[in-house]
Chains A and B, each alone.
Chain A
Amino acid sequence: MTSSDPAAPVVLHQVSVAIGGRPILRDVDLAVHSGEVVTLLGPNGSGKSTLVRAVTGLLPHSRGTVRLFGTPIEDFRDWPRLGFVPQRSSAAGGVPATVREVVASGRVGRRRLLRPSRAADRRAVQSALEVVGLADRAAFGVSQLSGGQQQRVLIARALAGEPDLLVLDEPTAGVDLPNQQALADALGRLKGRGATILLVAHEIGPMMPLIDRTVVMRDGRVAYDGPPLTQEVASHTHHPHDHTHEGPGGHDHAPHVASPLDFERRAR
């Protein structure tokens, strides 16, 4: 499967990732082809975010190969081709900043040191703001925006770098429905332009029609890789921790220990 397109934006071959000596991802094979929109689903702790961090180079992998656009990630230098939307609840920092300033910081990978911004930088920022539908809010402070709008700011920041591959880590977490629709519209516009998108999601919602392929993670391994699953199927079969699908009183947030033996096995 991975050998079909050697220069595909993302190719993982038997990748294992360990955090603090504990293997989190095991033997993951995954390819994202040019122009594809792939969603990564799975319960909390299944390794979705770890996978994204391995793909973006934030975490080293202990086995296998990670290739970005055909280059092994250790040798990859063309980082502006990759746009990353980290999992964050807010785009605001300790000091006020306008929407335009935050989005403009997405150009940082393409800007030369000690040089003023060029017309191309400003055009890219403006176009990114228009894609997410926040051009009229460019002069607002980011902390004035709602959580969903701030997520759109973070996406615009990644788009400002004019990436060929966009990696989003849970952009819809805690976002209201109108903003989820706005997010889906923005991703739809990008898909129309031929962008490649890898999206970690808890809720697919209005993004369903955009998706070409679904990958479901489970306990650090790929449990499903194929045509898009509807959210119901994905959450029922592979989403035991999804709180919205549990009956009242079904989950009390305490660790479940069935027997001392079971506990011992878990502890190890």
Chain B
Amino acid sequence: MGLLDLFSYEFMQRALLAAFVTGLAAPAIGTFLVQRRLALLGDGIGHVAVTGVALGLLTGTSPTWTAVLVAVLGAVLMELIRERGHTNGDVALALLFYGGLAGGLLITGIAGEGAATLQAFLFGSLNAISVEDVWSTILLSVVVLVVALGLSPQLFAVASDPEFARVAGLRVRAYNLLIAVLAAVSITVAMRTVGLLLVSALMVVPVATSQQVARSFRTTLLGAMLMGCVAAVGGLVLSAALSFRVTVAPGPTIVLLALAMFTATWPLGVWLRRRSRLMAPFPEVTATPHRSTDEHPHEHGETCGHPAVPHGDHVDYVHDGHRHAAHGEHYDEH
């Protein structure tokens, strides 16, 4: 059986569809989490959602919906703890993380299920996705995307400066809760493909990749969604291809692919940032008495390779700790 045959299987088509919408939705809300410097909030919600899955297993209802419910409750609780407890909010969050994971493991045991059942939810599973799961995944993803993109001006304002947003008349608390709830929903959406323990990576890593090269929030957001899609679908296909030989869960493959994409763009980001720092215009201040060079063995020009940095109405050529501006026959130290 070849890789192409694999695509004719219904479970594979379902998994691909789920991965595609997950790859779009998770980075969309992840961008706002990174903007608020809450990159690890997703990880916490993922841990809490384990309890939700276990409750689903215990009661015999759909684990997706119990996970959504518990994750939303956990996210709201975390947001309230973060808002109230100023000093050791992260400790409170840690308590919630471990409580969620431990509770989940305990309840799974009580439900009479083994670690293998839970593993499909923790690290993702190709063939565990039912038709019903695909529909709920698509539905929830569409909700996340419509709200996150539709309210992006408001969410951007709240995430970048809550005090300003509040004085502008926005209900900052409601928007913060909305971000937390959307994060919880997209985590349960990603549960089937990436798994609860790795889901946060799909919310954060594509954003980190995208912001290496992007300068605006808009391109970061759209780029992160593209990266997320490529990582989710690509990782899924890769794990399917590898599963002929070894046992691989889709979750780790997707996350490692996303990380590989970050590693590939990182040097580019370093170079871009360095260049933009070098080429930032010098401030125009009333000149201090400047010196002229005695003899300059080198002729500066457009092709000389030295950075030509704008400085008022001319450019300064930067080399060896000098800022040389052409002045008639010689160069001035500016």
> Whose C-beta in chain A lies nearest to the C-beta of B159?
A93
Q: Chain A residues with Cβ under 8 A from B328's Cβ? A: none
**Chain B CB within 8 A of A69 CB:** no
Q: Are A105 and B166 in contact (CB under 8 A)?
A: no
How far in angstroms is the closest Cβ of chain B from A67?
Answer: 16
> Whose C-beta in chain A lies nearest to the C-beta of B165?
A108
Q: Chain B residues with Cβ under 8 A from A174's Cβ? A: none
**Chain A CB within 8 A of B211 CB:** yes
Beyond A86-B161, A88-B161, whether A97 also contacts B168 by CB under 8 A is no
Q: In the complex, A107→B157 CA distance in Å? A: 9
Q: Chain A residues with Cβ under 8 A from B217's Cβ? A: 95-98, 101
* Partner-A contacts on B (CB < 8 A): 31, 34-37, 39, 150-151, 153-154, 156-157, 159-161, 163-170, 207, 211, 214-218, 220, 276-277, 280, 283-285
* Partner-B contacts on A (CB < 8 A): 56-58, 77, 79-80, 82, 84-86, 88, 93-98, 101-102, 104-109, 111, 113-114, 117, 139-141, 144, 146, 154, 157-158, 161, 176-178
Q: Chain B residues with Cβ under 8 A from A140's Cβ? A: 215
Q: Are B215 and A176 in contact (CB under 8 A)?
A: no
Q: Which residue, B150, B159, B161, B170, has most C-beta atoms of chain A within 10 A?
A: B161
Q: Are B34 and A95 in contact (CB under 8 A)?
A: yes
How far in angstroms is the closest Cβ of chain A from B249?
Answer: 30
Q: Are A56 and B35 in contact (CB under 8 A)?
A: no
Q: Are A97 and B160 in contact (CB under 8 A)?
A: yes
Q: Chain A residues with Cβ under 8 A from B151's Cβ? A: 113-114
New A-B contacts (19) at CB < 8 Å, excluding given A97-B156, A106-B164, A141-B276? A86-B161, A86-B167, A88-B161, A93-B36, A95-B35, A96-B215, A96-B216, A97-B216, A102-B160, A104-B153, A105-B157, A106-B168, A108-B154, A108-B168, A111-B153, A113-B151, A113-B154, A177-B285, A178-B283
Which residue of A98, A109, A117, A146 contacts B168 across the interface (Cβ within 8 Å)?
A109
Q: Are B168 and A58 in contact (CB under 8 A)?
A: no
Q: Are A98 and B156 in contact (CB under 8 A)?
A: no
Beyond A97-B217, A105-B157, whether A80 also contacts B169 by CB under 8 A is yes
Q: In the complex, A188→B157 CA distance in Å? A: 27
Q: In the complex, A139→B218 CA distance in Å? A: 12
Q: In the complex, A58→B34 CA distance in Å? A: 25
Q: Chain B residues with Cβ under 8 A from A111's Cβ? A: 153-154
How far in angstroms is the closest Cβ of chain A from B84?
Answer: 13
Q: Are A86 and B169 in contact (CB under 8 A)?
A: no
> Whose C-beta in chain A lies nearest to the C-beta of B276?
A144
Q: Are B36 and A94 in contact (CB under 8 A)?
A: yes
Q: In the complex, A79→B164 CA distance in Å? A: 11
Q: Are A105 and B215 in contact (CB under 8 A)?
A: no
How far in angstroms is the closest Cβ of chain B from A124?
Answer: 13
Q: Chain A residues with Cβ under 8 A from B167's Cβ? A: 56-58, 79, 82, 84, 86
Q: Chain A residues with Cβ under 8 A from B157's Cβ? A: 105, 108
Q: In the complex, A88→B167 CA distance in Å? A: 15
Q: Are B283 and A141 in contact (CB under 8 A)?
A: no
How far in angstroms is the closest Cβ of chain A from B283?
Answer: 6
Beyond A98-B216, A105-B156, A105-B160, whether A79 also contacts B35 by CB under 8 A is no
6 contacts across the A-B interface (CB closer than 8 A)? A80-B169, A94-B35, A95-B217, A96-B216, A97-B160, A105-B156
Q: Are B160 and A141 in contact (CB under 8 A)?
A: no
Q: In the complex, A127→B146 CA distance in Å? A: 31
> Whose C-beta in chain B lies nearest to the C-beta of A109?
B168
Q: Chain B residues with Cβ under 8 A from A141's Cβ? A: 215-216, 276
Q: Are B163 and A95 in contact (CB under 8 A)?
A: no
> Whose C-beta in chain B lies nearest to the C-beta of A104?
B153
How far in angstroms is the closest Cβ of chain A from B311?
Answer: 13
